[in-house]
């Protein structure tokens, strides 16, 4: 063990920033980190897991929110081992066996694979983990039974998920770390904070970089409806599902037009076996109308593109007119009158309630959906708008609502059966 301490200690000291060192040197059995994005905490967890395998002599399991996250962490582990000149006995997908007989496993929220594991566990980006409660109930009892160490790491998402419940709970058991982008910069991490601010609205920036969760208590479509309808675009299950899709399935697009303050959001959907899949969500920020027209034209020219529903009010009027003239059979213009917005919002919420929709596990898209609130007007009608504190108008919500509206109600003709 002394050999590993002599090897790891100087490497950790020269490699990590002070805020990372504070986490690695925390000896608590229960640790939770509320962190900014992109400040190297997954990188830190990777070296901490190596230390756990060699110094604490325990197996290590890192449960990531997605397959992509899992692969990133595994690459960090390999990077550290290579820098330490340690050659694994075995290195294959999701598993590294070390020379002292201990193993480091990385998986993407597959608690069935991890059952029977004994050792220390890390829940990476736990707030963004699908079915977080199920994973917690399935894994933690088996780990704690063998005195394993539990570490929870995440950028916050909402105030109602399992991560925030643990972090906000008053408990002497948990050692809590909060690391904002400002903390990281103060400790020497190289980042241009003002440049980052320009890329996000204030609430998104606060959530991504200042460790502030979204307030979803009054969201029209609450997170408990969204979560069962999420999918990981890189997961084996989704890739297999997509591989089996008929290449001729019609595509329906919803477009919410923006120019300077708001982005243009373009939701692509297809319907398969009564399920509407949001296969992509494009966002164009501060893009000229000429460029937007060219990009939308390219989408409309696809043979499988059947309908493109465009917000034709205000700044969207000219784009709609030009595209409708060129593609009269495909382009549908929608004016966002109060009654229309109510229909769109209700139909989208019903799709979530009935689990007839699947959306990618994307923090920005989820944020836009959660931002929409319903409020009563004096005329006994309702308004559906993004929170007044947010500069965006829930653009991705409305783009998705437009696509779902035309994908539902038998508006789309499946030409394969004609």
Three-state secondary-structure class, residue 94: coil
pLDDT of residue 416: 41
d(CA 150, CA 274): 41
d(CA 274, CA 237): 18
Using one digit for the tens of pLDDT, what is the confidence trace for 27-52? 999 999 999 999 999 999 999 999 99
Using one digit for the tens of pLDDT, what is the confidence trace for 212-233? 887 665 788 988 888 889 888 8
pLDDT of residue 147: 85
- Number of C-beta neighbours around residue 399 at 10 A: 31
Tokens of 80: 């550290």
d(CA 77, CA 65): 17
List the domains of the chain with CATH numbers: 2-209 (3.40.50.300), 223-417 (3.30.420.240)
Write down the residue that tokens 């030409």 correspond to. 415
pLDDT of residue 414: 46
Q: Measuring CA to CA, which residue among 163, 205, 199, 227 is closest to residue 370?
A: 227
- Number of C-beta neighbours around residue 221 at 10 A: 24
Tokens of 302: 């696809």
d(CA 214, CA 170): 20
Three-state secondary-structure class, residue 400: helix
Residue 359, burial from CB neighbour count under 10 angstroms (0-12, 13-18, 19+):
buried
d(CA 292, CA 255): 11
For residues 149 and 52, the answer to whether their CB atoms sit within 8 Å is: yes
Residue 4 CA: distances (Å) to CA of 27, 223, 278, 319: 17, 45, 48, 64
Tokens of 56: 């604490």
For residues 217 and 369, the answer to whether their CB atoms sit within 8 Å is: no
Residue segments in the chain with a per-residue pLDDT below the cut of 70: 1-2, 109-116, 142, 215-217, 259-262, 377-381, 386-393, 409-418
Residue 276, burial from CB neighbour count under 10 angstroms (0-12, 13-18, 19+):
buried
Using one digit for the tens of pLDDT, what is the confidence trace for 197-214? 888 777 778 889 999 887
């Amino acid at each position: 063990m002394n050999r590993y301490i002599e090897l790891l200690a100087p490497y950790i000291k020269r490699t990590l920033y002070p805020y990372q060192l504070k986490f690695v040197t925390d000896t608590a059995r229960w640790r939770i980190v509320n962190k900014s994005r992109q400040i190297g905490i997954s990188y830190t967890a990777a070296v901490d897991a190596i230390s756990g395998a060699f110094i604490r002599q325990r197996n290590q399991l890192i449960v990531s929110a997605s397959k992509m996250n899992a692969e990133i962490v595994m690459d960090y582990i390999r990077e550290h081992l290579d820098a330490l000149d340690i050659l694994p006995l075995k290195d294959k997908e999701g598993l590294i066996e070390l020379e002292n007989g201990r193993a480091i496993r990385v998986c993407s929220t597959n608690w069935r694979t991890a059952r029977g594991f004994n050792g220390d566990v890390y829940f990476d980006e736990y707030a963004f983990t699908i079915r977080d409660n199920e994973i917690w109930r399935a894994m933690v009892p088996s780990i704690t039974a063998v005195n394993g160490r539990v570490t929870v790491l995440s950028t916050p998402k909402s105030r109602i998920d399992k991560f925030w419940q643990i972090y906000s709970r008053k408990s002497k058991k948990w050692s809590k770390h909060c690391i904002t982008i400002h903390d990281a910069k103060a400790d020497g991490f190289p980042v241009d904070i003002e440049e980052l601010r320009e890329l996000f609205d204030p609430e998104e920036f606060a959530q991504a970089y200042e460790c502030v969760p979204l307030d979803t208590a009054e969201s029209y479509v609450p997170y408990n409806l969204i979560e069962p309808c999420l999918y990981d675009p890189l997961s084996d299950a989704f890739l297999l599902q997509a591989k089996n899709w008929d290449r001729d399935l019609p595509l329906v697009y919803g477009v919410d037009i923006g120019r300077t303050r708001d982005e243009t959001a373009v939701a692509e959907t297809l319907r398969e076996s009564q399920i509407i899949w949001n296969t992509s969500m494009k966002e164009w920020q501060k893009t000229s109308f000429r460029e937007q027209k060219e990009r939308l034209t390219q989408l409309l020219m696809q043979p499988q593109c059947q309908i493109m529903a465009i917000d034709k009010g205000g700044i969207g009027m000219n784009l709609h007119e030009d595209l409708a003239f060129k593609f009269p059979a495909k382009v549908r213009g929608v004016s966002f009158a109060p009654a229309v917005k109510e229909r769109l919002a209700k139909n989208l919420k019903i799709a979530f309630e009935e689990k007839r929709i699947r959306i990618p596990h994307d923090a920005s898209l989820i944020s836009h959906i959660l931002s929409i609130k319903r409020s009563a007007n004096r005329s006994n009608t309702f308004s559906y708008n993004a929170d007044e504190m947010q500069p965006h108008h829930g653009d991705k919500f409305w783009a998705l609502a437009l696509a779902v509206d035309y994908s539902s109600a038998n508006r789309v003709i499946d030409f394969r059966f004609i």
